[in-house]
Structure 1
Amino acid sequence: MPEALGAPLRPNRHGRASSRLASSLVAFALLPLGGCGILDHGMLGAAGPVADQTRSLFLLVCIILIFVVGPVLVLTPLFAWHYRLSNTKSAYRPQWGFNWPLEGLIWIPPVIIVVVLAVFLWRDTHRLDPYKPLASPYPPVEVQVVALDWKWLFIYPDEGVATVNRLVIPAGRPVHLSLTSGTVMQSFFVPQLAGQIYAMAGMTTQQNLAAHAPGKFRGENTQFNGMGFQNQKFSVEAETGDDYRAWLAQARAGGKTLDLATFKTLSARSVQADPIQFGATASGLFEAIVAMNDPGMHGAHGHGHR
């Protein structure tokens, strides 16, 4: 007996099963909370007019698709329970034959759903065209974007400055991006501000975006292009008008000049941990980069995909 009193308590099989079940339920209950931060950085945390429209379309499609998924989720467990093996009174013995109400139920709702989805997708595909300028009383900020292995170069042709892995924009003002690649095809994506669009060597694509208010957002390349792909991220910083002008003045005072020779050094494969700023840029540098990759397609334009 003393030996039994001193032995550690060991739960039986039912106790261990109950413990595992409780742990699983707690983990499942906390799962939504763990993903909140991730959702804030994605399309659902929209911070600009383009992302707002994209999120609205996504939620609308989800609501429409509930009419497809909902009956399946409800009826599947009901049918499984009703025709369970132990319920011998409800054996499934179908009488095969043509049935107009059943045929209508099978075909009419899906056709209506497809038509409704097609109408909304057609409308919003044209409304969210990345080449379409954003309506605004202010002129857009021009930024030329060059995708490299494994970094992003941003050139401000009207301001004469450039940055690496840091895109600074004024809040409340549209931004027009012209994109190309100095290497393989890559995908430019800032989930909270706009959809993704491809950057391709020897070609230029376009993207229009804006931020409602000052903030810091995450951008990345979503096209796999090598071992440093997972680190090819950049920050997008939306500033007030005064802070944006102050940043431009600070950048111009940097002293570094970005010309074609500097670009060739910069384009070597590497992961740039910290942003770089250039206080001056060579005239026509972006066009030279496009022509350098494919002189025959200099000035050509191609549509990327969101």
Structure 2
Amino acid sequence: MSNVAPHASAYMGRMLQPLTKAATRMRAGLLCSLPLILSACDRAVLNPAGQVARQQRDIIAISTGLMLLIIVPVMILTVIFAWRYRKGKGGTYDPNFDHSTALELVIWSAPLLIIIILGALTWSSTHLLDPFRPLDRPAVAQDADAPRENMLRVQVVSMDWKWLFIYPDQGIATVNELVLPVGRQVRFDITSTNMMSTFYAPTMAGMIYAMPGMQSTLHAVLDKPVTAEGLSGMYTGAGFADQRFKLYGVPTARFDQWVAEAKGSGRALDLPTYMALVKPSEKVPVMHFAAVQPDLFRRVMERCVEPGKPCMSDVMRHDMGRGGGNPHDVRPGAGMTPGRGSAPLHGDKPEGAIFKSPEEKGSGEHFTKPTHPNQARGVTKPGDATNRNMTELSPWRSPLDAAAARA
């Protein structure tokens, strides 16, 4: 038996040697891939270049920290309780335990306090980061020439599957390229041509819906130069994955130079060009347009770009003016045919016929005359005042009594 043990140990060592080498290679592979794993932490949401995106990142960090105040202690106490109150040697197992006031206070007060703090944080950030609300304190400009008080307007159109950016004050337009001056507040007016999507530039601001026939608004500002990417966060069909655009934050002088370069492209975004551009297409390269069809964004939003198609505002104005009504009267239902239960346009609401006597209702071809002289009152004259005479029902008799009397 003394000779068997060394042979067994050697045999087991030879068997475990491949496993040991595999474990060593696995550890080396994990160590080599660690920089790649850590590099993935540098995401756009956690590396903002705009004032709004930075506040949103802070909200995420604060919310995560508050939730960890519960998660981490619970995980630690789970191990401590399992070890301390175990059944066995050294444990304090108590099968009759059913209540602890101190423990109940801790269990309920801590989550309640965190919920109150998160609710206050949500309420304040919802109002402060309202996308329709201009920013109170824009970021400090990087250079003295940046016009801080002059808000830049950009009109955004989500198309299948590309992005159209119109600069109405500069008179230019681009496809899949958004260039913004650093330190200057921007107002985005956002709509869509066909399907609902989302305009999302993570390094600049949050995600805003782009809807056909409607306009969304976003106020944002970049406070440092950046080269990033924007995208649509909602699935809209085959080319959804490639509906992305380049975002550049540049100094004011470089932005003015870029506008001059776009004006020198010599290509105009007129209605025929737009009708060709609006057709579904994927992986569209960057385009610059030196001129834009006047009022193009409004016509896209009101879905009347096609020649001869009426705009939504014209249709609504026509509907409000139906029947000789005042087209400038924008009250609900003004100039339109009133429906059942709607408020009258002029005067008081007319009284229903059921509340009128036969003399008030008059006569006409739609009134049916009694067919039998002994017919009960109220059948042919529902509005007669005598129908309100209830003396015949006193004393009151049950319908079952009447049926028994007839039997």
List gaps (5 residues or longer) in structure 2: 1-11, 139-147, 305-309, 317-407
Q: How do 1:38-57 residues align onto structure 2 when only pairs under 5 Å count? A: 38-57=40-59
Aligned residue pairs, count: 290
CA contact (8 A) 1:147 1:199 kept: yes
TM-score, reference length from structure 1: 0.84
Distance 2:127 2:252 in 1: 31
Q: 1:189 deviation in Å?
A: 0.8
Task: Confirm whether residue 197 of structure 1 aligns to residue 198 of structure 2.
Answer: no
Distance 2:131 2:312 in 1: 25
Among 204, 222, 230, the alignment partner of 2:233 is 222
Q: 1:202 deviation in Å?
A: 0.3
User: Could you tell which deviates more after superposition, 267-276 or 146-155?
Assistant: 267-276
1:176-208 CA-to-partner distances (Å, cap 9, x unmatched) read: 100001111101111111111110000000111
Distance 1:148 1:159 in 2: 22
CA contact (8 A) 1:41 1:218 kept: no
Identify if the C-alpha distance between structure 1 residues 82 and 230 changes in structure 2 by more than 3 Å, giving closer, same or farther: farther
List gaps (5 residues or longer) in structure 1: 1-9, 301-306
Distance 1:35 1:295 in 2: 52
Q: How do 1:233-248 residues align onto structure 2 when only pairs under 5 Å count? A: 233-248=244-259
Larger Rg: 2
1:23-56 CA-to-partner distances (Å, cap 9, x unmatched) read: 5555555666324544434111011111111111
1:133 counterpart residue number: 134
Give % identity.
Answer: 32
1:208 counterpart residue number: 219
1:95 counterpart residue number: 96
2:176 counterpart residue number: 165
CA contact (8 A) 2:154 2:188 kept: yes
1:146 counterpart residue number: 157
Secondary structure at the aligned position of 1:193 is classed as coil
Secondary structure at the aligned position of 1:162 is classed as strand
Among 241, 250, 263, the alignment partner of 1:252 is 263
CA contact (8 A) 1:156 1:162 kept: yes
Among 70, 73, 87, the alignment partner of 2:72 is 70
1:216-250 CA-to-partner distances (Å, cap 9, x unmatched) read: 11111110111211111111111111111111111
Among 228, 232, 250, the alignment partner of 2:243 is 232
Q: Which letter maps to 1:216?
A: T
TM-score, reference length from structure 2: 0.65
Q: 1:261 deviation in Å?
A: 2.5
CA contact (8 A) 1:143 1:175 kept: yes
2:109 counterpart residue number: 108
Q: Which letter maps to 2:75?
A: L
CA contact (8 A) 2:162 2:284 kept: no
CA contact (8 A) 1:202 1:295 kept: no
Identify if the C-alpha distance between structure 1 residues 217 and 88 changes in structure 2 by more than 3 Å, giving closer, same or farther: same
CA contact (8 A) 1:47 1:192 kept: yes
Identify if the C-alpha distance between structure 1 residues 36 and 289 changes in structure 2 by more than 3 Å, giving closer, same or farther: farther
Among 280, 298, 301, the alignment partner of 2:291 is 280
Identify if the C-alpha distance between structure 1 residues 295 and 37 changes in structure 2 by more than 3 Å, giving closer, same or farther: farther
Greater RCO, 1 or 2 (C-alpha within 8 Å, sep 6+): 1
Taking only aligned residues, the RMSD between alpha carbons, in angstroms, comes to 2.9
Identify if the C-alpha distance between structure 1 residues 37 and 154 changes in structure 2 by more than 3 Å, giving closer, same or farther: farther
Q: 1:106 deviation in Å?
A: 1.6
Secondary structure at the aligned position of 2:46 is classed as helix
User: Could you tell which deviates more after superposition, 22-31 or 151-160?
Assistant: 22-31
CA contact (8 A) 1:219 1:236 kept: yes
Q: 1:59 deviation in Å?
A: 1.0
Which has a greater percent of strand? 1
2:373 counterpart residue number: none
Which has a greater percent of helix? 1
Distance 2:13 2:276 in 1: 66
Distance 1:96 1:41 in 2: 49
Q: 1:138 deviation in Å?
A: 2.2
Q: Which letter maps to 1:194?
A: A
